[in-house]
Structures are given as structure tokens and as C-alpha cells.
Structure 1
């Protein structure tokens, strides 16, 4: 089973070393966030693929260093001016069609993964240019005032303050703090803003699948609050074939019922493993296996009423979460 899931993930890897979100026409792009989550399934391996993912992302930002340098000191005034979270699959160029480009969590998880690699003594930074890019990203988050900057969030939708976006930035800054100069006020202001929103995700989302990121991978919350976040997701969003993103989600809604996202199952398993609930973690691992397609692929989601997966199959992010959980419990 594990080998087949790994093959599904490997099928999404491009020659440039980055991963498509999915082979479908809809998702035939390179997302920063997806690649950083996928990288977490590579960290314990003996090869260099973990750091290669970050090197390729740094290469993208080298190309757009002029943009980083400008917005490190000038707050974006329009969504297209934000550091883009999504790029073309082959040329790694910005996508110019209208999109929810204000996604602060994509910067946060990149910094988090970079810091994680540095702590594991990986060669994450190749030269002074890479170091300069990271310093620009830090300044960018400060200029944004991410703790009070409304963004499109993980789901690229409503512009509002998202707990998951603020948490990603805080976690990213904490992860690289041993290696870069970070103003402690940025972290403090981020934590204050986060606790003002919790246990909610935003003003319009009382409970959201994206909040699981605060438990895994970021491990940002004390045990009681982390357990409360997991409990709320299970109580309000868990369904037969996955986890709905939030109540009232219209993306692939089927007969008025929210789509069931498969990656929510291994994600909940990883949260339970983080909290020390190994039996629950194993239950979610087995549950994930039951929602795989006959050819052992994990879809993005199932349409609730019809019970069929959408075309974004396999979803790289979902495969990676399953692999991390599987290896953690072996």
C-alpha cells in the first residue's frame, strides 16, 4: 500500500524537482504551500530531495527578487502585488489571471520548512543570494504586518484575518529564529493576534480544516487548545469520506452538501499522533486507506451526494500526509 501511494506522489514530480498539486488541468500548477507540505514526507530520507524542493522555490524567488525587494519595504496595495503562491508547471512564472494571491501562510510554511531543514543539518542555503532572499521574506512579513493583514487564507477565498495564516507566519519565524535575526515583536504580535481569534479560524469561519496546521506541522499550541481544535474539527467537519473544509463551503458542493476532503483524514491522524493518541492516529490511517481509489490514489475530495471523487486525483498533498503518518506509526 505504502509503495503504491509513494508512486502516486512520485508521478507528480517535475524535471525541475517541484511537484504538481495534481495532474488535472485545474491543478496543473506549482503551489508553494503544497510543495512545502510534500517536502515533510522527505525529511527523514537519506537523499537530498528535501532541500532540493526549497532550492527550487528559492530559484523562483531569485527570479522575482526585484518584487521581494520592493515589497519588503512597501506593503502591497493590490492582491496581484503579493508574493505569489502559485506558478506555471514548466517555466515557473507567476500566474497572471485573477487569483487569491494574498496567502501569507505560504510564506510562513516555507520559512518553517527551511528552519526545520536547518535544524536537521540539511544544506538548505547554498550561497549569500539564498540568505538574502530569506532576509527579504522576513522583512516582507514585517512590512505586511501579518498579524493584522487580512489575506485569502489557505483556501484562497475570503480576504480576512485567518488564524491558520497568522499561525503559519509565527511558526515560520520561530523555526528560522536560531539562524536569522528576527525581531521578537513580530512573533509576540503574531501570537497575541492568534489568541484573539482562537478557537475560531476567522470572523466567518467558526471552525476550519486549515486550523489543523496549528497542531501539525506547527505544534504551535499548548495541549488543551490543540486538543480543542482537533475536537472541534471532528465534531463539526468530519464526514464519511473526509473532512469538509468549513460549514457552507461551496467548492464542489453537491446537492447543497459540502465536499469531503480526503487529506483531512491523515491530517487528523497526524494531529492525534502529535497529541500522543496513537490508537486514534492509526484509526485515521486505516480510514484513509478505505477512501483511496481502486488504483490506490487519494483524491482531493469526494462529492458528498454522489460519493465519487473529483478530477483532482491524486492530490500530492494528501499522498504526502498519508506517507508521513504511515511512517510515523510503522
Structure 2
């Protein structure tokens, strides 16, 4: 199953080093955030794939440096002004044929975190001074948009709020590169202040969200008893048989969406929410962070039980069914399984 999951990622990887989210017609694009998560299994491998992903992302930011420079001059007013979240698969260009929720501070934080993580694993992440200049500009970009109180579209690319998961991603990213570029202390202090004001909520509108698991893994911004609270609330309110719903009342791929659209109040969709597969290995990784090896093992086994075939995981299953959505396989799902499976094996050997 582990080998087959790696083969899925190999098939999703483009020659330039970035990954499309899924081979489905809906997801044949390159997302910055997805690439951060999909590349994580390679950070401790003796090959070039981790660096290649980040070099291509750095080249993307170099190509759009003119845009970053404008954003350093003034805080953006329109969604299209922000750094884009999604790009064409082959040319890695902005896509302008449909509106998109590009205000995603967490993707910038995730990228910075990935750079720092590579350095921690002795990867040669910085090629030249220009790469350092780009990283510095991204830090100042987060400063200029005032990420700690600028509502963003968040991990799920939906309505704008201040999201705990976005704050955590930015904090982790800024902290991970503060040895190689200038990170003003205010950026860290303000981020933590906003995060703790929200805790244990994801946002003013959502009391608990699958995205909050990122605060525990991979970002390790929250741990101990505070982490236990988040995990227990996810398990109590969001855990389902074939995955984890993103939040209560989520209409995306709800069993009611096709008939009623996504315009009804959130209460309308409760009980019909899609069950996201990567939620299970994500919970396993969080339990490992909290020291619960047996619980992590249970979630890895659950993940293996919902595979369509060995190593192949969809994005989600429709509520209460064994029917996956078209975005199958999803690179993010497979990478989370790899991470959980390998981390559990390593922890079990040490025990």
C-alpha cells in the first residue's frame, strides 16, 4: 500500500517538479498548498524531489515578483490582486477564466514552512541571493497585508474570515525561516495573539474545523493539552466512518449539493457533509504528536480500509456511502497516508 501510494504521487508529478492535485478534470491544476503537503513525504528521502518542488515554486514567485512588489507598496483591495493560489499544470501560469478565492495567507505560510523544513533536513533549499530576496519579500508581504487580522479564504478557499489554521501556517512559516531572513518580531507576536484569541475555534463562524489539525501537524504550533482539545473536538463532532467532514454544514460535495446547490444556510446541510479521506491519517499524525501510538495505529488501519485499491485514496466519500467523488486519487490524501504510515512505523520501532 505504501509503495502504491508513492506511485500515485509519481504519476501526479509534472516534469517541472510540481504536482497536480488529482488526475480528475476538476483538479488538473497546481495549487501551492497542495504541493507543500504532497511533497512532505520526500523531505527525508535521498532524492531530488523535495528540492525540485520548491525550486519550481521559487521560480513561480520570481516570475510574479513584479506583482509581489506592487503588493509591498499597498495593501490589496481586490481578490485578484493577491498572490494566486492555483495555476495551470504545465506552464504554471495564473488562471483568469473564473473567479477564485485567492486570499489564502496560509499557502504563503505553508510555502515558507516547507522551505524551513527542508533546511532542517539538510536540503539545499536556497540556490542564490535571489531566492533569499523572494523569501524576504514574502515575509514583508505577510506584514503588509497584516495577516493576523486580514480575513482570508482559508484552506478550503471559501468565505473570508480570520482562520486559526491560516494564522498557524503563517506563524510556522515565519518561525521556520527567521534564521535566514529578517522576520520582525511583531509578525510573530501579533499572530500568536490573534490565534489565542480564537482558540479553540477555527473562526468566528466555525467552532471546529478539520483544518485546525494543521496546528498540531505539520506546523506544531499547538501541542499538549491545547492540542488534545482540538483533536477530541474533531473526533467528537467531525469524525465519520470513511473520513472527517471539514466542518458542520459543509455543502461541498454534500449529498444535497447537486439538488439544492450550495446557497442554503449551513444548518440545511448538516448530516449530509462529505467525508474527507485525508482526515483519518491526519488524525493519526496528530495522535503521534500527542504521544498516542495505539490511537494513531487505529487511524492508519482505518485509512487502509477505505482505500479503493491498495494505496489509492480519493478526496472524499459522499456522506454515509462507499461512493468516492471524482477527484480520485487525490495526491494530498495519499501523501498524508504515507506520512502517517512511515511515522507510525518509526515510532513503533523506537518503542
Provide, for residues 261-283 of structure 1, a one-character-per-residue CA deviation record: whole Å limited to 9, x for no partner.
Answer: 00000000000011111111111
> Mind listing any 5+ residue stretches in structure 1 that lack a counterpart?
none
The superposition leaves residues 215-268 of structure 1 with CA deviations (integer Å, 9 ceiling, x where unpaired) of 000110141111101111000000000000000000000144000000000000
- Counterpart for residue 186 of structure 1: 187
Aligned length: 330
List alignment gaps of at least 5 residues for structure 2: 257-268, 346-351
Q: TM-score, normalised by structure 2?
A: 0.92
Aligned partner of residue 41 in structure 1, secondary structure:
helix
SS of the equivalent of 1:167 reads: helix
Q: Does 1:300 align with 2:301?
A: no
The Cα of 1:307 is off from its aligned counterpart by 2.8
Equivalent positions of 1:1-330 (< 5 A) are 1-96=1-96, 97-255=98-256, 256=269, 257-294=272-309, 296-330=311-345
Distance in 1 of aligned mates of 2:120 and 2:73: 29
Q: CA deviation at 1:305?
A: 4.1
For residues 134 and 228 of structure 2, the distance between their equivalents in structure 1, rounded to whole angstroms, comes to 36
1:129, distance to aligned residue in structure 2 (A): 1.2
Deviations 1:113-140 (A, max 9, x none): 1011112221111111111111110010
With over 3 angstroms needed to count, the CA separation of the structure-2 counterparts of 1:177 and 1:10, relative to structure 1, is: same
Q: Which residue does the alignment assign to 2:265?
A: none
SS at match of 2:30: strand
- Indicate if the aligned counterparts of 1:254 and 1:306 stay in contact, CA closer than 8 A: no
Deviations 1:143-195 (A, max 9, x none): 01000000000000011110000111011001111221110111000000000
Distance 2:310 2:119 in 1: 37
Structure 1 CA distance for aligned equivalents of residues 4 and 223 of structure 2: 36
C-alpha displacement of 1:306: 3.8
Q: Which secondary structure does the structure 1 equivalent of 2:168 belong to? A: helix
8 A Cα contact 1:252 1:259, kept in partner: yes
Instruction: Measure how far apart 1:324 and its partner are.
Output: 0.8
Q: TM-score, normalised by structure 1?
A: 0.98
**Cα deviation, residue 295, structure 1:** 5.3
Task: Give the C-alpha shift of residue 296 in structure 1.
Answer: 3.7
1:52, distance to aligned residue in structure 2 (A)? 1.1
Write out the 4+ residue segments of structure 1 that deviate beyond 3 Å after TM superposition: none
Quick one: distance in 1 between partners of 2:43 and 2:204? 35
Residue deviations 1:78-130, cap 9 Å, x none?
01111111100011001112000000000000000101111222111111111
Contact 1:22-1:314 within 8 A present in 2 as well: yes
Structure 1 residue 294, shift from structure 2 partner: 2.8
